[in-house]
């Protein structure tokens, strides 16, 4: 893995890319890849450190089947980043700045006038706590060191609501024929933002923010087993490899394992990444997100 900028924005990735960053009072590992078979990813992601113990982590997934989904995801992430920075500079709370950022992301996508849309999942990490915000079916999850699921956002979809109501279980939801439908998204006049309660992070808890390319191909127990312990960047790479293998392997039987080719974007964060990983973190640098016309990511992409 390469060492990345402390503030990172990735959009329209043509090839798998990964990096390791300082964030808040810990470390963030990032993976971004287009769906197997080529083309540009329609996902976008953001790691935005805001101080010694706070950061914003976000993933947007441009909705397939609608025009310019990748552009919608990039505009949403850009609007979120710039609004959060300007809001904090004006003295607003981090929660208020994030909510304003999501609202402005919605306005930015609507202003395209093309019917474009994107999902958006945001994790606010501050003061040793995490709070999730989501629109659509990109997700925020928190796993403990022993693999227990401590937090998972609700997918805004018919299947997600059925799962919450107990009408289907996790395995049935994974194979449901309406799995691809989303009922709430950025780029809608009726967009709603779901805001979670703040959860205190234990030192070895892992926060995962991802597009549905992960949760449509791996079960929660599989994600937890891979991510619960071990070097953060290596565990994330193993997670991405397993999800990609699922996407590219035809199931031997209809219920052997899920397989849904898709773009894959994942951010994993830990407050205490371990001494070995801490020594590999890049020095603190801040990318100026104010001028998106010249800012580039760690691989030189505009």
Q: Summarize pLDDT for 113-136 with one digit per residue, the tens.
A: 999 999 999 999 999 999 999 999
Instruction: Please tell me the predicted confidence (pLDDT) of residue 300.
Output: 34
Q: Please report, in angstroms and rounded to a whole number, the separation of the first and last CA atoms in the chain.
A: 20
Angle CA(271)–CA(272)–CA(276) in degrees, nearest 5? 140
Residues 63-81 have a mean pLDDT of 91
Smallest Cα–Cα separation from 8: which of 45, 59, 60? 45
Burial of 79 per CB tally in 10 Å (0-12, 13-18, 19+): buried
- How far is residue 236's CA from residue 242's CA, in Å, rounded to a whole number? 10
| Lowest-pLDDT choice from 38-47, 137-146, 243-252, 284-293 | 284-293
Instruction: Please tell me the predicted confidence (pLDDT) of residue 256.
Output: 74
Quote the pTM value.
Answer: 0.88
CATH class of 2-250+257-275: alpha beta
- Dihedral of CA atoms 210, 43, 85, 114 in degrees, nearest 10, equals -130
Q: Summarize pLDDT for 275-300 with one digit per residue, the tens.
A: 778 888 876 544 444 443 333 333 33
CA 237 to chain centre: 15
**11 pairs with which residues across the strands?**
44
Q: What letter does residue 274 receive in the DSSP assignment? A: -
Q: Cβ atoms within 10 A of the Cβ of 237, count?
A: 18
Q: Summarize pLDDT for 207-239 with one digit per residue, the tens.
A: 999 999 999 999 999 999 999 888 999 999 999
Instruction: Please tell me the predicted confidence (pLDDT) of residue 66.
Output: 75
**Radius of gyration in angstroms for the set of CA atoms belonging to the chain, rounded to a whole number:** 18
Q: What letter does residue 12 receive in the DSSP assignment? A: S
Which residue has better confidence, 153 or 283? 153
Pull the structure tokens for residue 269: 């964060």
Q: Are strands 118-126 and 54-62 parallel, antiparallel or unpaired?
A: antiparallel
pLDDT at 6 > cutoff 70: no
Q: Is the dihedral of CA 266, 269, 274, 278 positive or negative?
A: positive
Q: What letter does residue 302 receive in the DSSP assignment? A: -
Indicate the domain borders of the chain.
2-250+257-275
Mean predicted lDDT score pLDDT of the chain = 85
């Amino acid at each position: 893995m390469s060492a990345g900028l402390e503030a990172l924005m990735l959009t329209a990735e043509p090839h798998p890319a990964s990096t390791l960053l300082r964030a808040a009072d810990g470390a963030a590992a990032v993976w971004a890849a287009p769906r197997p078979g080529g083309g540009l990813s329609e996902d976008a992601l953001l790691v935005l450190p805001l101080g010694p113990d706070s950061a914003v982590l976000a993933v947007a997934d441009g909705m397939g089947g609608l025009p310019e989904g990748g552009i919608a995801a990039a505009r949403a992430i850009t609007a979120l980043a710039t609004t959060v920075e300007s809001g904090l500079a004006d003295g607003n709370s981090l929660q208020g700045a994030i909510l304003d950022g999501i609202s402005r992301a919605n306005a930015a996508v609507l202003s395209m006038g093309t019917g474009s849309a994107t999902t958006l999942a945001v994790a606010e990490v501050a003061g040793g706590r995490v709070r999730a915000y989501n629109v659509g079916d990109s997700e925020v999850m928190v796993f403990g060191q022993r693999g227990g699921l401590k937090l998972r956002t609700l997918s805004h979809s018919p299947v997600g609501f059925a799962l919450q109501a107990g009408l289907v279980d996790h395995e049935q939801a994974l194979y449901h024929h309406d799995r691809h439908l989303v009922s709430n998204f950025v780029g809608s006049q009726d967009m709603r933002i779901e805001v979670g309660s703040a959860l205190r992070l234990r030192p070895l808890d892992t926060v995962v923010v991802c597009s549905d390319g992960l949760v449509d191909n791996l079960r929660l127990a599989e994600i937890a087993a891979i991510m619960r312990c071990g070097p953060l960047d290596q565990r994330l790479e193993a997670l991405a490899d397993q999800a990609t293998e699922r996407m590219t392997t035809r199931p031997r039987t209809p219920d052997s394992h899920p397989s849904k080719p898709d773009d894959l974007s994942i951010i994993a964060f830990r407050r205490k990444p371990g001494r070995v990983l801490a020594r590999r973190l890049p020095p603190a640098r801040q990318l100026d997100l104010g001028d998106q016309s010249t800012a580039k990511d760690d691989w030189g992409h505009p």
